[in-house]
């Protein structure tokens, strides 16, 4: 089975992600070892919490460069929730610089009378990259589970794999280009749809190993 490193920086929903990966037929390895990230077949960067503590913890554990190296190596990489946001250059939530792997910023939802912030619960994706491996074997515009007050705003709109609408605001819900994928929602909390997304990621890892 493919070995997938799940990055441990004290900010992730690690065990739920690992259970999903195991069901998808992979061997998860919770780690903050740069060597184990390098040796893994793929990497997942989960995340729950605030932007500044997250990037501080990553840097304190010496994980910034290993994450950049993993993505540059071409191995499949999946960011989840906060693990999507910290790939960007900066966030309205804090003052720390992000990893700067994806050009763009993290912005906060604009308050509206009829919406709650954080955006929490089930919502429907509008898929913008229908051929992305993320969405294989899924119904069109599937429902997934969100918990967030901030969203990513990439400079290049072509990397958006899906959007979501909250109130009158339509924002990026997933990005995908080359070997890098990241989602704002929680696949590990999104029932069968989320399990299928994790299975799709594992399938890509298998294809990479076999190539």
CB 21 within 8 A of CB 46: no
**pLDDT mean over 81-104:** 97
pLDDT of 170: 98
pLDDT of 138: 97
CB 152 within 8 A of CB 184: yes
Domains in the chain, please, with CATH?
A: 3-210 (3.40.50.880)
Q: How confident is the model at residue 211 (pLDDT cuts 50, 70, 90)?
A: confident
Per-residue pLDDT of 34-48, as tens digits, reads: 999 999 999 999 988
Q: Mean pLDDT for the chain?
A: 96
Per-residue pLDDT of 111-128, as tens digits, reads: 999 899 999 999 999 999
CA-CA distance, 177 to 173, in Å (whole number)?
14
Q: Give the side-chain half-sphere CA count within 13 A for 42.
A: 27
Per-residue pLDDT of 9-34, as tens digits, reads: 887 778 899 999 999 999 999 999 99
The dihedral formed by the CA atoms of 95, 169, 174 and 63, expressed in degrees to the nearest 10: 10
Q: How confident is the model at residue 134 (pLDDT cuts 50, 70, 90)?
A: very high
pTM higher than the cut 0.95: yes
CA-CA distance, 185 to 145, in Å (whole number)?
6
And the tokens for 174? Answer: 């997933």
Per-residue pLDDT of 150-187, as tens digits, reads: 999 999 999 999 999 999 999 999 999 999 999 999 99
Task: Supply the residues annotated as catalytic.
Answer: 81, 186, 188
pLDDT of 114: 87
């Amino acid at each position: 089975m493919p070995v997938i490193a799940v990055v441990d920086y004290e900010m992730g929903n690690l065990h739920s992600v690992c259970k999903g990966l195991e069901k998808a037929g992979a061997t998860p390895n919770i780690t903050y070892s740069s060597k184990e990230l390098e040796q893994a077949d793929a990497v997942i960067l989960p995340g729950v919490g605030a932007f500044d503590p997250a990037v501080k913890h990553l840097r304190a554990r010496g994980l910034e460069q290993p994450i950049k190296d993993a993505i540059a190596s071409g191995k499949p990489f999946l960011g989840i929730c906060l693990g999507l946001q910290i790939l960007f250059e900066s966030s309205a939530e804090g003052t720390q610089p992000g990893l700067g792997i994806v050009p763009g910023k993290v912005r906060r939802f604009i308050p509206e009378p009829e919406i709650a912030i954080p955006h929490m619960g089930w919502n429907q994706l509008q898929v913008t990259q229908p051929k992305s491996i993320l969405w294989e074997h899924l119904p069109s515009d599937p429902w997934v589970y969100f918990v967030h007050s901030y969203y990513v705003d990439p400079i290049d709109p072509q990397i958006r794999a899906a959007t979501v609408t909250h109130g009158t605001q339509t924002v990026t819900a997933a990005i995908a280009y080359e070997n890098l994928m990241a989602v704002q929602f929680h696949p590990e909390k999104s029932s069968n749809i989320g399990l299928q997304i994790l299975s799709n990621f594992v399938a890509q890892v298998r294809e990479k190993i076999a190539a």
